[in-house]
Structure formats: structure tokens, C-alpha cells
Amino acid sequence: MHQKNFIFVLLAMTFAVFQYSCSSSPAPEQTVAENNSSDFVLVTDRVPDAILEIRYYSTYNFVGARIDGYLAPVALLTKRAADSLRAVSDDVKAMGYRLKIYDAYRPQMAVDHFMRWGADLADTAMRPYFYPNVDKSRLFELGYIAEQSGHSRGSTVDLTLFDMNTEKELDMGGTFDWFGHESHPDCGGNSETMEYRTNDTITATQFANRMILRAAMLRHGFKPYDCEWWHFTLKDEPYPDTYFKFPVEILKK
């Protein structure tokens, strides 16, 4: 193989790995606060219009069981993130939508549960629903499961839009926690310019719906994640280096 051709192939392979992997950036040095929930609030106290479907409290998730640390079907966030989310809610409500939340703060014990599940290659009960095109043995390699999650810092939320006119979720062309390229915000178009690109994965309407959510979140201080259209983190998060451990439960006043 000529040197130029070899370099081209190598670059193409490298691009493919980055395109289809969702590895997180290296975790910074962090402190772990055992049970300090003093700066957290129930999302519904700050965003009363929010609809909750806390997947990790239920058994309908990629593990197929209630996840450790989810003691109540509630969503928690830092006060700063919750206040910013209220602004998003007010914004989309004026357009006829409500926020539907799948997950917010996630304790480290839940992430540890994911790690144990990922190491048990025999447990593939939920594969048809969440990762039919990915072998479970590759979930760590591709970055779908990691030792730490930004959710544990308390200012990250997984959500979608609920259309009050149709009384259904907006069709985003993919489901929450789907392990695959279809979940990438740029699947079907340019997520930066919000321009649709004709493709055989999602429709122009589905892409536009993703961009409605994305634009609203960005307008109110959240930043997106390259591999999940539903995942946003407050840019000015108050605890960028802290991973909390207290459980998801109704907070005591």
C-alpha cells in the first residue's frame, strides 16, 4: 500500500472510532461528598410543570432493574441548575410544550451499579430495547458505561419535550438511553447550524424537534453532549469537580 493511501485509511479509521464512540473526557481530580444534599432541590419544587418518568427508579431501563440509590421517583438538581431549568420550562411552555425528565442527579452508587451490570456479559435481557446493534462486551470500550458520570455532580439532566396539543412526547426519532449513533444530536443534520441533512435515519421533523429542545436548553445556560440528544449540563455548574453519593429521595426540609 502506498504511504498516502495508508495515511488516508488510518485517518478514516480514526474518524470512525470518534464518530461512533461516546467516551467521556478524562475526569478531573474530584472530591466526593458523602451525604451533602444541602445545595440540592426537588426539580418539581422549582419546575412544577415538569413531567417525571424516572427510568432508573423503574425496571424499564437498559439494566432491567431498579438502580441502586433511587429510593423515590423524583428528580434532584443543584439549585442553580434547577433555576436555569425553570427558565427553559417557561420558554417551551410558551410554545405549547412541557419538559419531561428521565434522569437528573445520579448518585455514584448508581454508576457503580451500571459498572457491575456491564461486567456481567450474560445479562442481556434488555438488549432488544436499548442496544440491539451493539455487543454488550463493547459497552465500556465505546463509552456507553463509565466509572463516573457528570450526573453525579448534580447539574446534568436527561429530558425531552411533551407536546400539550397531542398529549404525547415529541417524536425525536429515537428513544432515551438508546446505545447507538442514532442518539447523537448531529444524526440527520448539523446540530450547530441546526440544518437538516437528508438521510435514512431520522426525518426532517424529528431532527427539527431535537433542535427545539437543544435551542431552548442552550438559551438558558446548558451545554449539550455530543452523543445524546437528551443530555444537557449547566455550563456554570457549581460543583464541576465533586461527585456526590447521597441517594435520590424526597429531600428533608
Q: Which of 53, 182, 228, 249 is catalytic?
A: 228
* Cell reading at 249: 429521595
Q: Which residue has the cell 442527579?
A: 105
Q: Are 160 and 100 in contact (CB under 8 A)?
A: yes
Q: Is the dihedral of CA 234, 36, 115, 173 positive or negative?
A: negative
Q: How far is CA 27 from the centre of its chain?
A: 17
Calculate the CA 134 to chain-centre distance. 18
- Specify the residue for cell string 429515537: 174
- The dihedral built from the CA positions of residue 93, 98, 102 and 108, taken in this order, carries a sign that is positive
Q: Tell me the three cell numbers of residue 218.
A: 442552550
How far apart CA 90 and CA 87 sit, in angstroms, is: 5
User: Does residue 228 carry a catalytic annotation?
Assistant: yes
β-strand 40-42 against 51-52: which pairing, if any? unpaired
- Catalytic machinery residues: 228
